[in-house]
Structure 1
Amino acid sequence: MSKIRITKQFSFETGHALYGYDGKCKNVHGHSYKLSVTVIGTPITDTNNVKYGMVIDFTDLKKIVKSEIVDKFDHATVFNKNTPHIELARELESRDHNVILVEYQPTSENMVIDFADKIKRQLPSQIKLFSLKLQETDTSFAEWYASDNF
């Protein structure tokens, strides 16, 4: 049976700041992120299975990505927890803002690595994460491929 890749796209709004950066992105700002999630697997061949012919039900993939990424990061502000932005983060949290503190500089590159790890842990064993594309603006994005990370 052939291996098939399927892709589902998501969007969410997230703010961040890059501590120590030498450009405008050192300031707190936000993006309308677009995340494309591609998985690979073999379509189900059991004609008695309600998901016959599917690699994974798009609804099941959506549940994973929404719970691991979209629901957490949408309308949140992400800061590296090891920077002076921690004071700003605490102030925002005290005012009931959604703040995410991470172990890394919250660049698109590092976020896509984090997202890949989160999604891979939740996929059924017969489904593999093939790639992620995290688009920060219309012209800028970071990509993660399983084939580059084995």
Structure 2
Amino acid sequence: MSNIRITKQFTFETGHALYGYDGKCKNVHGHSYKLSVTVIGKPITDTSNVKFGMVIDFGDLKKIVKEEIVDIFDHATVFNQNTPHLELASELKNRGHHVILVDYQPTSENMVIDFADKIKNRLPQNIQLHSLKLQETETSFAEWYQSDNQQS
């Protein structure tokens, strides 16, 4: 049976600031992110299985990504926990805002690495994460591929 890749796309709104950056992105701002999640596996061949012919049910993939990424990051503001933005984060939290503190600079590149780790940990054993594409603007995105991250 052939390996098949399937992709599901997600959207969410997230704010962030890049501490120490020398451009406009040092300021708190937001993006309408688009996340494309591609997994790879063999379609189920057991005719008695209700998911016969599927690599993974799109609904099951949606549940994983919503729980690990979308529901957490949507309408949140992300700051690197190792910067002076902690004061701002604390003030926003005190005013009822949803703030996420991460241990990395919240660039698209680092966010897509974080997302890959979170999604991989939730996939069934027979399904592999193939790639992620995190689009920050209409013309800018970061991509993560499992094949680029194979450990020797």
Under TM normalisation by the shorter chain, which class is it?
A: over 0.9
User: Which AA in structure 1 matches 2:82?
Assistant: N
Offset of residue 104 of structure 1: 0.1
Report whether the alignment pairs 1:28 with 2:28.
Answer: yes
User: Which AA in structure 2 matches 1:74?
Assistant: D
Where in structure 2 are the equivalents of 1:1-150 lying within 5 Å?
A: 1-150=1-150
Offset of residue 47 of structure 1: 0.3
User: Which AA in structure 1 matches 2:36?
Assistant: S
Offset of residue 122 of structure 1: 0.2
Offset of residue 82 of structure 1: 0.4
Measure the CA separation in 1 of the matches of 2:37 and 2:141. 13
User: Which AA in structure 1 matches 2:130?
Assistant: F
TM-score scaled to structure 2, two decimals? 0.98
| Count of matched residue positions in the alignment of Structure 1 and Structure 2 | 150
Deviation per residue, 1:12-39 (Å, 9 max, x gap): 0000000000000000000000000000
DSSP 3-state at the match of 2:106: coil
DSSP 3-state at the match of 1:92: helix
Calculate percent identity across the aligned residue pairs.
83
Measure the CA separation in 1 of the matches of 2:19 and 2:51. 46
Measure the CA separation in 2 of the matches of 1:109 and 1:26. 16
User: Which AA in structure 1 matches 2:25?
Assistant: C
TM-score scaled to structure 1, two decimals? 1.00
Measure the CA separation in 2 of the matches of 1:127 and 1:23. 40
User: Which AA in structure 2 matches 1:2?
Assistant: S
DSSP 3-state at the match of 1:77: strand
DSSP 3-state at the match of 2:121: helix
Where do 4+ consecutive residues of structure 1 move more than 4 Å? none
DSSP 3-state at the match of 1:137: coil
Instruction: Let me know the Cα RMSD of the aligned residues.
Output: 0.2
